[in-house]
Chains A and B, each alone.
Chain A
Amino acid sequence: EDQVTQSPEALRLQEGESSSLNCSYTVSGLRGLFWYRQDPGKGPEFLFTLYSAGEEKEKERLKATLTKKESFLHITAPKPEDSATYLCAVQCYGQNFVFGPGTRLSVLP
């Protein structure tokens, strides 16, 4: 069975304190890994898609990387407005998207 796990479940950072979120997956055949940001009371908002091991993508303070078994979302010098839940999802051959439970990030000023 395809599975996606995320760690940590929750993370509290001071403003400017860099860290990484992890998304681990066990799937039969990966077509793409997606990162989303979700603010309270809103729908998920797309951040990145990664298709193959070794691929990296960046957007402002966020950088996503992908290996054969996991993906990391690196947050550099975070600001309070980066506080949100970060979801990862995988899309496998012949399957729909499978979402992880998310990491709740709080960045304190």
Chain B
Amino acid sequence: NAGVTQTPKFRILKIGQSMTLQCTQDMNHNYMYWYRQDPGMGLKLIYYSVGAGITDKGEVPNGYNVSRSTTEDFPLRLELAAPSQTSVYFCASSYSTPSGIYNEQFFGPGTRLTVL
């Protein structure tokens, strides 16, 4: 199993540009997440999905959008990039049982994004 894969690893954007960060997992996990990590700060949840076709906002969703058309893929879209979106972005997946037990999250290697 490859686990959680993310592309690209690095990207530099100009203000106002748009891009999509790709995330794929091959563990058949139902939950997927997008986080951003700023220096000295914890991981902040941007969006999450409990299954194909279902997404919901996390703590810091403004300026981002997501979709989940398959179990495996959970792309994150940045529209009109701003310097405040300079960060490291992590995708994660986990399995939650029908009784509501959350198991540990598996993280991808991250995408380092700079907006100039």
Contacts and interface: CB of A to CB of B under 8 A. Distances in A.
A97 B40 contact: no
Interface in B23-47: 33, 35, 40-45
Contacts of B41: 101
Contact of A91 (B35, B44, B102): B102
Nearest to A91: B102
A79 B90 CA distance: 28
A43 B4 CA distance: 10
Contacts, number: 53
A97 B105 CA distance: 9
Contacts of B105: 34, 44, 46, 97
A47 to B, nearest CB: 9
Interface residues of B, number: 24
B107 interface: yes
A96 B42 contact: no
Contact of A46 (B42, B90, B101, B106): B106
A87 B42 contact: yes
Interface string B64-108: 000000000000000000000000001010000000111111111
Given A100-B42, A101-B40, A101-B42, A46 B104 contact: yes
Interface residues of A, number: 24
A25 interface: no
B47 to A, nearest CB: 10
Given A31-B102, A87-B43, A96 B109 contact: no
A43 B3 CA distance: 12
Interface string A24-43: 00000001101010000111
B45 A96 contact: yes
A45 B58 contact: no
Interface of A: 4, 9, 31-32, 34, 36, 41-46, 49, 87, 89, 91, 93, 96-102
6 contacts: A31-B101, A43-B92, A43-B109, A46-B106, A93-B100, A96-B48
